[in-house]
Structure 1
């Protein structure tokens, strides 16, 4: 069947509102699951009788399967059809969420999470394409703004919601909450869109490309997630995974660039807007997500915050992101998307620079303020960059372009998390060494400080030294985290030129938006 078809008219009125809600909820359900399980890992591990290190595989296998399946969206859309694939993915995601919730053992839970991550892959790129096709050309930026709102709020709400559910109910409910959302989203989406199915054609299956993709993404994802626990390249397991990922990635590049019907269309990177926009959004998201993981972790480990409290401190990030997203949709009709994205990166740099002044005695308000302000650049982030990436794409390549760009973004999110965690650990060790250079029993000044602590707090020698060590550890971790914030602010400034290698874009997707319907 040929891919060419007459442009479909946009939806309107109540049908458009209901369809937008359904598609947005499917996106929210997916992005929520990327972070909601993080705070529940200790509880899940304890209930299933495994160590926390083993429990972290619940996150690792989902991320690996999801990363592999996202770039397959374009090929699957050609074979199955955009609407059938999207609704089928929602149904399977809902079913696997139920299987995760009833899992009696860790192996069963891991199998369910692998399938859940795999079927979740097409949801985000297809939601972009479907929303663009539902709105008139002049409102395409509003469609992207609504998508950006759900993509922003999900990772932010995850830790808070996960912490609250884990503290007040059984951990299984972090998966069960997907069931009513999924049933509603699948039902309404099918009702609204079943007559708007895209044409299909039976393209050959790129078995070699698919196999190489699974090997290099899977091995690299596991290496990144487990590298810190296994002491990185001092571990033969990590070395083997690194070599496997490198070799299979090299073969993957050569194969996909020469294959007539590749499983992942790497030729998209030959387009200036796709290249600049994808690299910019991926690096920026990697820095953002890495910091989003570190901040609540630091609050729990060193400030004594509960999981729920740490989640609540990060929750204000969504306030301005939600309030401003509709405004950004209107602004993009007349503003150059590159200028809006630049304002976003400058805002991120400013917020992270504010955080470089954190101290161990910081109060909750000074933790919340930068997080609240960060919602402003977040609102300016997804919409203009997605507009740049999808500009000029013909309708039949929208799903493929959205799939590849989202794969790069999600993959960089995993890389950013790993790098941020590892560098925080390295900087903490460095500062700890510097802070304890004079901490020797042969140093009269050190002994005087210990004696003073003993007399003030009525402690014995061992307790006074333990208190000193705890104070140094806390201070070193704070200084290390400030270093990460400072480096993050610099990175956002350095990647601004990537935005300006692209061509001017207005109207939320340009030709992509026009061709989408």
Structure 2
């Protein structure tokens, strides 16, 4: 085989590895109620089950490029495959909560290691003529893989068994191992980098980012700053993160090279990707939460709305790789068009009501699917065209670590809206219900399932009538909160629209832009 084509198999192995670790997170998150029942977890340990994964993932995203270059990409990929497999397959058999949480942390660490490896390997092995294909492969980790998880969660939990949410990694890891073994170049480890190791930066990453992610994930449950634990985490984050920035700026061999942010296109990419990941909750968790909370759907019944987005990516990503390779195409215009699609999807979703079913979501999900691929592909093109292959590891850490943080911020944002706006809507609806209580016997029922709750004499129509009325009020509150979340996400999309108009410069396809350099 041609030596130039062999590394492409290695890249394919890293893509499969990224798919395996990504599905580890997404499928287990969507299957969490079934996993809690299967493992016998109560609510509080289950929150740590999700929180520790996110914390470990962010740490892995920051450290992966440095470790990959130091130990050689080939060896480090084998290590990540082994870690992802062993940390997953034993979870269904563990009865001890501490051991379970330790394995979940290792699972998150493997997920964090995998994503930056994909960007690092793609920038290294892809020639300018085919680099856009590699960018499409990387874009799939943000625009395709998360949307496959709904279908797999439905398959494992409703048809096969919740244990396969963890066993699914085995065949994917085996494929990744074979492809990486065959295709990845054999490089000598660069142990001399240990002489310049950024140990202060690593320590600040572990302490600062773990404190921040835990604060965001556990803050709502612990009542925020009324909890001493949350106050300590906030103090550690406030001290560690500025020190980390200062340390990286002056270190000889840093984990993050903040000087790259002086390049406008790279700065645009470093900001856009995490904000896009944050906005993607509008097409993943919000529709799924609406169907499960309002209609009582199981994953088997609701997976179609996310699978639609995944299928669109299989069409859009190759098309965009072809389109953006045309010299006359300005990727800023394509990105602007994609953001408009996202904005339309958010505004359309904000009209959600308690009677919405799957059919009402399909149109808006199509806008999310088309717009998301346009935004991510253009962002990657603009960011990577301003980089040399030697700068790839620094860029991978700087882009992917905030991306991991954005997933945690998304959880915090939804909890914040649910607490503040949910309380407001619940209070107002309850107040209205109290003021209109004497009219309830003659009013039409807010649901076709239940009759009006009161008789003309003010007594409950049935023993369960008042409970049903409270159930309907909670449904109305949930629908209003979901509408608010869509509008908040729309605000972030508007921010990205202004950003793409002001920050990035005109760039060309890699075969042209890199040839000029």
Query: If the length of structure 1 is used for normalisation, what is the TM-score?
Result: 0.89
Counterpart CA distance in 2 for 1:192 and 1:273 is 31
The alpha carbon displacement at 1:438 in A equals 3.0
Aligned to 1:6: none
Counterpart CA distance in 2 for 1:178 and 1:249 is 34
Aligned to 1:487: 488
Aligned to 2:508: 506
Q: Which residues of 2 match residues 88-99 of structure 1 at below 5 A?
A: 88-99=79-90
What's the secondary structure of 1:147's corresponding residue?
helix
1:205 matched to 2:207? no
Aligned to 1:400: 394
Query: CA distance change for structure 1 residues 290 and 514 in 2, over 3 Å: closer, same or farther?
Result: farther
Counterpart CA distance in 2 for 1:37 and 1:113 is 11
| Superposed CA offset, 1:235-287 (max 9, x none) | 22222222221122122222222323323333322322221211122112112
The alpha carbon displacement at 1:201 in A equals 4.4
What's the secondary structure of 2:95's corresponding residue?
coil
Q: Which residues of 2 match residues 295-374 of structure 1 at below 5 A?
A: 295-334=287-326, 335-374=329-368
1:428 matched to 2:419? no
Q: 1:384 aligns with which of 378, 382, 387?
A: 378
When structure 1 is superposed on structure 2, of 422-431 and 179-188 the one drifting more is 422-431
Counterpart CA distance in 2 for 1:478 and 1:508 is 45
Counterpart CA distance in 2 for 1:364 and 1:73 is 39
Q: Give yes or no for contact 1:219–1:244 (8 Å, CA) kept in 2.
A: yes
The alpha carbon displacement at 1:16 in A equals 6.7
| Superposed CA offset, 1:110-147 (max 9, x none) | 11121222233232122123234333312211221133
What's the secondary structure of 1:503's corresponding residue?
coil
Query: CA distance change for structure 1 residues 104 and 461 in 2, over 3 Å: closer, same or farther?
Result: closer
1:472 matched to 2:473? yes
Query: CA distance change for structure 1 residues 298 and 514 in 2, over 3 Å: closer, same or farther?
Result: farther
Q: 1:52 aligns with which of 29, 39, 43?
A: 43
Aligned to 2:413: 419
Aligned to 2:22: 31
The alpha carbon displacement at 1:402 in A equals 1.5
| Superposed CA offset, 1:405-452 (max 9, x none) | 011112112102211232133222212222222333795335654995
Q: 1:294 aligns with which of 283, 286, 294?
A: 286
| Superposed CA offset, 1:87-128 (max 9, x none) | 322232222222334433322221112122223323212212
Runs of 4+ in 1 over 6 A off after TM superposition: 196-200, 512-515
| Superposed CA offset, 1:447-503 (max 9, x none) | 6549953459x9546633222222121112111211221232232122223234122
When structure 1 is superposed on structure 2, of 18-27 and 483-492 the one drifting more is 18-27
The alpha carbon displacement at 1:66 in A equals 0.9
Query: CA distance change for structure 1 residues 411 and 508 in 2, over 3 Å: closer, same or farther?
Result: farther
The alpha carbon displacement at 1:382 in A equals 2.0
When structure 1 is superposed on structure 2, of 16-25 and 162-171 the one drifting more is 16-25
Aligned to 1:4: none
When structure 1 is superposed on structure 2, of 213-222 and 194-203 the one drifting more is 194-203
Q: Give the superposed CA RMSD.
A: 2.7
Query: CA distance change for structure 1 residues 513 and 483 in 2, over 3 Å: closer, same or farther?
Result: farther
Structure 2 residue runs of 5 or longer lacking an equivalent are 446-450
Query: CA distance change for structure 1 residues 123 and 514 in 2, over 3 Å: closer, same or farther?
Result: farther
| Superposed CA offset, 1:272-315 (max 9, x none) | 22212111221121121365223212321221111332333322
Counterpart CA distance in 2 for 1:100 and 1:46 is 14
Q: 1:83 aligns with which of 74, 78, 91?
A: 74
Query: CA distance change for structure 1 residues 514 and 138 in 2, over 3 Å: closer, same or farther?
Result: farther
Counterpart CA distance in 2 for 1:511 and 1:80 is 31
1:453 matched to 2:453? yes
Q: 2:153 aligns with which of 143, 159, 162?
A: 162
What's the secondary structure of 1:316's corresponding residue?
helix
What's the secondary structure of 1:305's corresponding residue?
coil
Aligned to 2:448: none
Aligned to 2:438: 444
| Superposed CA offset, 1:373-414 (max 9, x none) | 321112213221112222221211112202220111121121
Question: What is the number of residues matched between the two proteins?
Answer: 504
What's the secondary structure of 2:434's corresponding residue?
coil
What's the secondary structure of 2:26's corresponding residue?
coil
Query: CA distance change for structure 1 residues 198 and 336 in 2, over 3 Å: closer, same or farther?
Result: farther
| Superposed CA offset, 1:299-341 (max 9, x none) | 2122111133233332211121111110100111122222222
When structure 1 is superposed on structure 2, of 299-308 and 259-268 the one drifting more is 259-268
Aligned to 2:261: 269
Q: Which residues of 2 match residues 127-146 of structure 1 at below 5 A?
A: 127-146=118-137
What's the secondary structure of 1:506's corresponding residue?
coil
Aligned to 2:498: 497
Q: Which residues of 2 match residues 54-133 of structure 1 at below 5 A?
A: 54-133=45-124
Q: Give yes or no for contact 1:93–1:120 (8 Å, CA) kept in 2.
A: yes
Counterpart CA distance in 2 for 1:99 and 1:150 is 25
When structure 1 is superposed on structure 2, of 435-444 and 389-398 the one drifting more is 435-444
